[in-house]
Structure 1
Amino acid sequence: MQVATAWSLASAPGLVGGPRHRYHPSQSTHHAQHRHRYSTRVSSTGDGDEDDPIPLFVDYTQSRIPPNEPLLRSIDRVKNSLLEASNDTSAGGAINNDALLRRIVQKGISFQQANREKHRDDEYEMQRVPGCIATVLVRATLSRNIVTISGKSDALLSGGLIAIVADVLSGVDVTAHEILQLDANSLTSALGLKPILNTGRNDGVASMIRVIQDQIRSLLGDSSGNTIQPSSRDAIRNETSDKPTVAMLLSGGVDSSVALHLLLQQGYNVTAYYLRIWLEDELAHLGECPWEDDLHVCQEVCEHAGNVPLETVSLGKEYRDRVVQYTIEEAQQGRTPNPDIMCNSRVKFGCFLEYIDQSGMKFDHVASGHYARLEDEPRESSPGTTRAKRLFRAPDPVKDQSYFLCALTQKQLSKVLFPIGQYKKSEVRQLASEFNLPNRNRPDSQGLCFLGKVKFDEFLSSYLGSRPGDVVDAMNGEVIGKHNGLWYHTVGQRKGIGKVMFPLATAHGPWYVVAKDQSKDVVYVSNRYDEDDFAKARSEFEVEDVRWISNQHPAQAMSSDGKWEVVRFDMKIRHGPKIVQGSLQLKGDGSSGNVKLDLKDGGLAPGQYVVFYSQTSDEVLGAGVISEKHWASFLKEYKQMVGSEL
């Protein structure tokens, strides 16, 4: 991209982004005679041709701003620093887009580092910029008509754009009044950045400047300008205060979009929230974020639904702390994590609920597009008290997501709505067509909630790297391969295990992972996994961290004399339509117990969740986690069988 600029004076018929001043009708001719815009010509084609002039200022004073005024010089200085030749430039001297994006990101990192201590107190007075893809906070301070900008963002590229705006507006001798005359929509074009930024980020920079201009007006005591209006959420909630309010978690998929429309049909006052979560932000500086398409679709869905308010909330730090860290630690110990269960309990219905509470937003409910059903406990079961919530499977066995919701507490469930829980997927697709949703033909998302398009093994590799160890035949203790890390393998795995085994051994397959020994970095495999040798290891195990949806264990789990009884349940060992039958006998304080399945399972991996369902209904009663003691008993048994230390 090459950028050529030429400053010129152009008249403009209207006001875009500048301050509004009161004047009488008799003054209109006078103002029309002295209303001018300064503009810049920017070419992003690299051929030297100039596009139409881009208006920069609106001047409402008798005097004109000459082209060498401080703000113009500041824009030119910042533009030249961004586009200057370096090792990142092409043979023709033009910097490529990726290199320019990297410069912007680095500028933001340097800005944050330089201002972390200097503007620490500003954080409490920073104002959120509406309409930005990322969470962007800015604050303008004023001293002798000179403006200083501080700000922060949770996305790398947005942080760089804050730094650029601050650099331009805090330039030498740039005055507050000059900033107020800047057309907010023009800055990215004047800097040569508009072609490489998507629409959302160009609009975000404009919104950022408008917020700063509004803050400056407030500091100058001018209330006649374009003040920031209350958010559409607040306006709509004030107009419909008699309706129950819902914070709708909107992902851009068909399910949550249909859920939103159903809520509107049922008379709820809905505000949509798009949650931006970790890893997606880490890819933001590359210019093509996997979540930007989702957010754009959310905007279209909300507009189609009658301009339902939509807000973006970044929970990046919370994701790292509550989901990603858990996933890494579990995998490092050789266990099988379930980040989707943690995503729901700790983020979507965890820290998001905390966020809206701490923000002072009073919503009656939080809704999502999950396939699951909720019912109130019968009144006769809890007379005179708040009725507990009961969680049930959805009627669509393939799409049912009750497994992923098993860790929700009564406090969380009391706020939750699942508008599509009673429908099958085919019915939801039909509703999407009937509603004529803009995303009605969009395919379902795949993969883990926080990884986007990144493969799980790639994610593990980036954090845990490799830690080689032996692949051992569980039947005889023979080393038959070398693995790169316990975390790349899970019990029951067949696909891919041959890649880490010696060629002579692969000929005797198929091989399955049957256990892992984290203390010795050993992966145990067997080609007799379907035989009786593994019947017990595949059907009996211990569970820990057992919890019940109602906060109480089933009555039949304990006898009248206080002893734990064997209780039959339907169970899910993993997400999917498969239901297995078996029994659970709790022990000790009831937080652990022994499970016996009626039939062998494909792979019982420590760390994996087991969800317990009623055998007489679809109700989710509780859940537990497969204990590492399952491996301990397996290793002890087979150590005795092979007669050596495995």
Structure 2
Amino acid sequence: MRVLAAMSGGVDSAVAAARAVEAGHDVVGVHLALSAKPGTLRTGARGCCTVEDARDARRAADVLGIPFYVWDFAERFTEQVVEDFVAEYAAGRTPNPCLRCNEKIKFEALLDKALALGFDAVCTGHYARLSLVDGRPRLARSADEGKDQSYVLASLTAEQLRHALFPLGDSTKTEVRAEAARRGLAVAEKPDSHDICFIPDGDTRRFLTNRLGERPGRLVDDTTGEVLGEHEGVHGFTVGQRKGLGIDQPARDGRPRYVLSLEPVSGTVRVGAADRLAVTGIVASRPVWPSGLPLDGPVECVAQVRAHGGTAPAVAELEPDGARLAVRLREPLRGVAPGQAVALYRPDPAGDVVLGSATITATS
């Protein structure tokens, strides 16, 4: 196969490309330039897609003996990931930019261009297992549970997955680093990037305030209706948040307060006790089915609402119009917010299989 290897400049994508070469594929490496000012993004292990990363990716491609290119996707990344992130927070929702990047950049923009150029597949360093069963994609958790990225890939369609390769799915991070060292790849010990790549200092509230400005509102006790303080905008909060609320007076019962809900129109942030965060029902829209098969009737499954953690046994059912998904959790989850994705898994000893995913619109 002709394979386009997306090379971020990190160890995972470098080893994934190396394995694609070793498997006998005709591999070309490409680094995605996602920032108009790439030199400003990396601070230690924070951020990604910098000039430094592009150079690391090129060096890895040289070691592997494959052609290498840099493609400028900065404008599209800004429009479809960064601006979407800002708009979602302004609307009182909590988006996952990594999921959005995989969906819109790596497996829409990049894959579309790759197919147009005659490539058969895009290869990435994601930790997830992907196979074909009876001609249908089967996306499952990786062997390394701590690095599993199937959640942020669960929004991909069956057609996209038919043109994807995830060579690291059966490996652990430790094994990948050791392999990189054996292959002479200089990125073997390079720190993983973390947090949000376009917010390298990790200060999401300041980033959003710089773009949205101050939008004053009130912090309100959800039980008593008492006004506890003022804030500069609902975009500075997420459901389940405890720290940084700016409330001086303690709760009457002495227990910590958490953000329970956000009301962007009125600018109200409602806070209360931790037990008020418990969610047992989820409604989600725009469902996607990685295998191409929608749910057929109520299905026992495992629901996941965060990239790492936030799982519970559940019963999920597609509503008659096919546009919404109703999920009843067998065990309550905390900190579930509109804008997040819910991914559904079928338990499997060899790695839970992704059934589908959708965007959370309401909880109960």
TM-score, structure 1 length as denominator?
A: 0.53
- The alignment's C-alpha RMSD in Å is 2.2
Per the alignment, residue 529 of structure 1 pairs with 274
Structure 1 segment 623-638 matched on structure 2, within 5 A: 623-627=357-361, 629-630=362-363
Choose which of 305, 324, 327 in structure 2 pairs with 1:592.
324
Per the alignment, residue 2 of structure 2 pairs with 245
> What is the identity, as a one-letter code, of the residue corresponding to 1:539?
T
* Structure 1 residue ranges (4+ consecutive) displaced by more than 6 angstroms after TM superposition: none
Rounded Cα–Cα distance in structure 1 between residues aligned with 2:162 and 2:16: 18
Please state if 1:619 is matched with 2:360: no
Give the superposition deviation at 1:302: 1.7
Please state if 1:326 is matched with 2:74: no
Give a deviation string over 1:420-458, Cα, whole Å, max 9, x none: 111111211221222221111111111124444563223
Give a deviation string over 1:527-548, Cα, whole Å, max 9, x none: x223xxx37x522232222222
Structure 1 segment 213-228 matched on structure 2, within 5 A: none
Per the alignment, residue 263 of structure 2 pairs with 517
> What is the identity, as a one-letter code, of the residue corresponding to 1:348?
K
Give a deviation string over 1:359-389, Cα, whole Å, max 9, x none: xx211211000001111122xxxxxxxx221
Q: CA 1:279–1:512 in structure 2 vs 1: closer, same or farther (change >3 Å)?
A: farther
Q: CA 1:453–1:279 in structure 2 vs 1: closer, same or farther (change >3 Å)?
A: farther
Per the alignment, residue 260 of structure 1 pairs with 17
Per the alignment, residue 228 of structure 2 pairs with 480
Structure 1 segment 19-418 matched on structure 2, within 5 A: 244-278=1-35, 280-281=37-38, 283=40, 291-306=50-65, 308-358=66-116, 361-378=117-134, 387-418=135-166
Kindly indicate whether the alpha-carbon contact (under 8 Å) linking 1:279 and 1:450 is maintained by their aligned counterparts in 2: no
Give a deviation string over 1:183-213, Cα, whole Å, max 9, x none: xxxxxxxxxxxxxxxxxxxxxxxxxxxxxxx
Give the superposition deviation at 1:283: 4.6
Structure 1 segment 459-498 matched on structure 2, within 5 A: 459-497=207-245
Give a deviation string over 1:579-611, Cα, whole Å, max 9, x none: 321112332312213322122212110111000
Per the alignment, residue 311 of structure 2 pairs with 579
Choose which of 260, 279, 282 in structure 2 pairs with 1:541.
282
Per the alignment, residue 45 of structure 2 pairs with none
Q: Percent of aligned positions with the same letter in both sequences?
A: 34
Give the superposition deviation at 1:506: 9.5
Kindly indicate whether the alpha-carbon contact (under 8 Å) linking 1:568 and 1:615 is maintained by their aligned counterparts in 2: no
Secondary structure at the aligned position of 1:598 is classed as strand
Give a deviation string over 1:550-593, Cα, whole Å, max 9, x none: 333233x1xxxxxxxx3211121100145321112332312213
Rounded Cα–Cα distance in structure 1 between residues aligned with 2:252 and 2:214: 22
Give the superposition deviation at 1:514: 0.8
Per the alignment, residue 442 of structure 1 pairs with 190
Rounded Cα–Cα distance in structure 2 between residues aligned with 1:371 and 1:290: 19
Secondary structure at the aligned position of 1:439 is classed as helix
Kindly indicate whether the alpha-carbon contact (under 8 Å) linking 1:281 and 1:316 is maintained by their aligned counterparts in 2: no
Structure with greater contact order relative to length (CA < 8 Å, sep ≥ 6)? 2
> What is the identity, as a one-letter code, of the residue corresponding to 2:15?
V
Secondary structure at the aligned position of 2:189 is classed as coil
Q: CA 1:303–1:292 in structure 2 vs 1: closer, same or farther (change >3 Å)?
A: same
Rounded Cα–Cα distance in structure 2 between residues aligned with 1:290 and 1:607: 25
Kindly indicate whether the alpha-carbon contact (under 8 Å) linking 2:161 and 2:290 is maintained by their aligned counterparts in 1: no
Per the alignment, residue 610 of structure 1 pairs with 342
Number of equivalenced pairs: 356
Q: CA 1:355–1:312 in structure 2 vs 1: closer, same or farther (change >3 Å)?
A: same
Q: Which runs of 5+ in 2 are unaligned?
A: 42-47
Kindly indicate whether the alpha-carbon contact (under 8 Å) linking 2:40 and 2:50 is maintained by their aligned counterparts in 1: no
Kindly indicate whether the alpha-carbon contact (under 8 Å) linking 1:280 and 1:290 is maintained by their aligned counterparts in 2: no
Q: CA 1:279–1:407 in structure 2 vs 1: closer, same or farther (change >3 Å)?
A: farther
Give the superposition deviation at 1:331: 0.9
Rounded Cα–Cα distance in structure 2 between residues aligned with 1:483 and 1:283: 29
Once the two structures are overlaid, the 10-residue window that deviates more, 593-602 or 451-460, is: 451-460
Q: Which runs of 5+ in 1 are unaligned?
A: 1-243, 379-386, 558-565, 634-646
Per the alignment, residue 551 of structure 1 pairs with 292
Q: CA 1:551–1:596 in structure 2 vs 1: closer, same or farther (change >3 Å)?
A: same
